[in-house]
Amino acid sequence: MPVSDYTYSSRTSFAHVLCTTSSAVDAIGTTGLPVFDSDHGSVVFTNNVSSDITYTAAAGTFTFAKAGTYHVVLTLVTSQETSDRLQTTTFSLNSAAAIYAAAPFADFAMDPTETTHQRIITIAADDVLHIKTTTPGHTMGIVKGTSVVITEITSGVFASSTVTTAGSNNTTSAFNPFDTDLSGGPVFATAGKIASGVIFTQTDGSMTVPSAGKYLIMINHLFAAGGSTNSVVAMLLKKGSTVLLTNTVKLHSTIDPVEHTMCVIEDLAADDVLTVSYDIVGGQVQAELGATFTVIKLQEGQPISGTGRGIGGYGSAYISVVSNQDSTAGATEVNPFDEDTLTGDATFTTRTSSGITFTPAAGTFTVNDPGLYFIMHNPILDGATDIVVTTKILVNGSIVASSDTALIKHGTGDPANLTNTAFVELQRNDVVTVLSDANTAVNLTHKLGSHITMFRYYGFFEFSDVNAVAPKLISDDLTVNTFSQENLSGQYDRNSAQVPFKFGVRGPGTLRGRGTNPSVVKLGDS
């Protein structure tokens, strides 16, 4: 069924912009420029934006008609021309100072480079969001696969904390990179913190949730080898003493700071405490500017009376799956969630699931209901030698508007993380798969801890579905509430005012001398 046969079942705001054709290699230099500016030579962007957010391609900006709290996720794929440099990325509102800033390193011999950045931002009506990047002293280009997803948070329960001054602890012992009590620990300036409901305690680096529910947890690690030539760090996300997710990567002093993304949905109880730990396998590690810890409670969907189904529902369909084994090394395209690709016990852990069916025998994810879905794939990759890898997200066998290519440097830069993000309209029974393609004849391995997270951000219902009525449109006692005020907006999304009531009644305003008062169906009539 085409998208035109669906209607949005809520009025939540969103924006998604994707680079489908790379820019000129020297598009951005020493001056910070908008990432999503269509003026970058040869660049092509596609977009899907709700009616209350304006994406201005010629300026690369986002203007918000509606005040709210928004989660911004940037997946930035770049080519660094000729020389190694830091790449500084910022988020800011209007002409104010940056709300978010990070400066990972880009080695031109490892082009393209992928980094992910994210932050929760409070936005007022008419605010303009600027997403900029720069590489001081040289130039770089924006590469196909670069994307941003901006989503309004509807649950009102969230927290996000960003390191505003890098740590200097250079420790060889396990530590929490968000704990300010560390010797030489990180700093969180006012601009680096935002919370509602969820409590961020910076003196122990913890997030405490206020109520039971499904929570999206996203962490962007930015760290350096801390003076060591080579360092290996195991990143642990914990609920109390229970480890929810573990990823292990390598750092090298010549190509740091580096960024690594973790994303998972978890069932949490009231007062559950989340923390992050760096277990140092070798060398030293220190936290860096831009590291961000975000927790968002998902908004459950509203049920349709008597159907057992929900409409709308930020988070009413979701899944997180983690690989417990390495994949078999190979030089061909591989689906890392197909159990046939794994070594040993060949198992996966499904952290949580509802409305999306994971089939390990085929490595597929099938959605039960239509909607607009957020997908984030986070593979941990290891090459036998230097290797260029393309990661892909597909729907029904076709690549959707999300694919990035990056080089992983053997010995100094692997295991490494690549993040691929999609924000796509899916129909009932659509099948999602992810692939990683070794573009050269070099063996590629997916390491244990590789994971994928999906959730329905925006629900659709079919016009042809008799059960898909607006909430309270028809009461359980069959009372018709068509013209109640709350249903005038709930039936369909529109930008125009509601038609006058008399024009919603069949026939002329006068009939057989009855005057100017037509028969009407009153609120509460059956």
Protein fold of 12-152: Jelly Rolls (2.60.120)
φ and ψ at residue 490, rounded to 5 degrees:
-80, -20
Q: What is the pLDDT of residue 6?
A: 42
Percent of the chain that is helix, strand, coil (3-state, to 5): 5, 50, 45
Q: What is the pLDDT of residue 314?
A: 55
pTM (two decimals): 0.83
Q: Please report, as a single letter, which amino acid is at residue 469.
A: V
Q: What is the pLDDT of residue 164?
A: 86
Identical fold for domains 12-152 and 313-459, yes or no, is: yes
Residue-by-residue DSSP string for 268-304: E-TT-EEEEEEEEEES-BEE-TT-EEEEEEPPPPEEP
Return the SS3 of 191: helix
In tens digits, the chain (526 residues) has pLDDT values of 333 344 444 457 899 999 999 999 899 998 999 999 999 989 999 999 999 999 999 999 999 999 999 999 999 998 887 777 788 899 999 988 899 998 877 776 667 888 999 999 999 999 999 999 998 878 989 999 999 999 999 889 999 999 888 766 667 778 888 888 877 667 787 778 999 999 999 899 999 999 999 999 999 998 877 766 778 888 899 999 999 998 888 777 777 788 889 999 999 999 999 999 988 888 888 888 899 999 999 887 554 444 444 444 556 789 999 998 888 877 788 898 998 888 776 689 998 888 899 999 999 999 998 889 999 999 888 777 777 788 899 999 999 855 656 667 655 656 778 889 999 999 999 999 998 887 776 777 788 788 999 999 877 654 344 344 444 555 555 566 665 554 554 444 444 455 555 555 555 555 555 555 555 555 555 5
| Segments making up each domain of the chain, as ranges | 12-152, 154-298, 313-459, 470-526
By the 8 A CB rule, do 3 and 116 touch? no
Q: Which residues contact 423 (CB under 8 A, 6 or more apart)?
A: 14, 16, 48, 147, 149, 372, 373, 374, 375, 402, 457
By the 8 A CB rule, do 95 and 271 touch? no
Helix (H) or strand (E) holding 358: strand 356-359
Q: What is the pLDDT of residue 173?
A: 79
Return the SS3 of 5: helix
The tokens for 327 are: 């994949």
CA distances from 412 to 87, 248, 358, 407 (A): 19, 14, 35, 12
Q: CATH classification of 313-459 is 3.20.20.80, yes or no? A: no
By the 8 A CB rule, do 405 and 144 touch? yes
Name the residue among 48, 290, 288 with its Cα closest to residue 148: 48
Burial class of residue 361, CB neighbours in 10 A (0-12, 13-18, 19+): exposed
Nearest 10 degrees: Cα torsion 249, 377, 289, 45: 140
Return the SS3 of 497: coil
Q: What is the pLDDT of residue 264?
A: 96
Beta bridge partners of 155: none
Q: Please report, as a single letter, which amino acid is at residue 468.
A: A
Q: Which residues contact 515 (CB under 8 A, 6 or more apart)?
A: none
d(CA 270, CA 281): 33
Protein fold of 154-298: Jelly Rolls (2.60.120)
